[in-house]
Amino acid sequence: NRFLLGAAVLSLISGLARERPVLVVVDDAQWVDEATAQCLGFLARRVTTEPVLVLLTGHENPASGPWEGLPSME
């Protein structure tokens, strides 16, 4: 279940962020599998009020797929 997996990762990262800021970095995000991409998108949408930064780099348009609606830079 994608929601349960996303919630588990969110809980883990949020717990770590209570102790110190957390940086999640994924290089070449276009190569991650669909389930991982969905989980990272879930996480990035829900940590906006916590000391967590999710940084994804890739060669594809960040405005589509699981990253749709997230802030992006070219």
Q: Which long-range contacts (CB under 8 A, 24 or more apart) does 28-34 make?
A: 28/57, 28/58, 28/59, 29/56, 29/57, 29/58, 29/60, 29/67, 30/58, 30/59, 30/60, 34/66
pLDDT tens digits for 17-30?
Answer: 999 999 999 998 88
> Any idea which of 4-8, 12-16, 39-43, 55-59 has the lowest mean pLDDT?
55-59
CB 58 within 8 A of CB 28: yes
Please give the model's pTM, rounded to 2 decimal places. 0.85
Q: At what angle do helices 34-46 and 2-19 cross, to 10 degrees?
A: 50
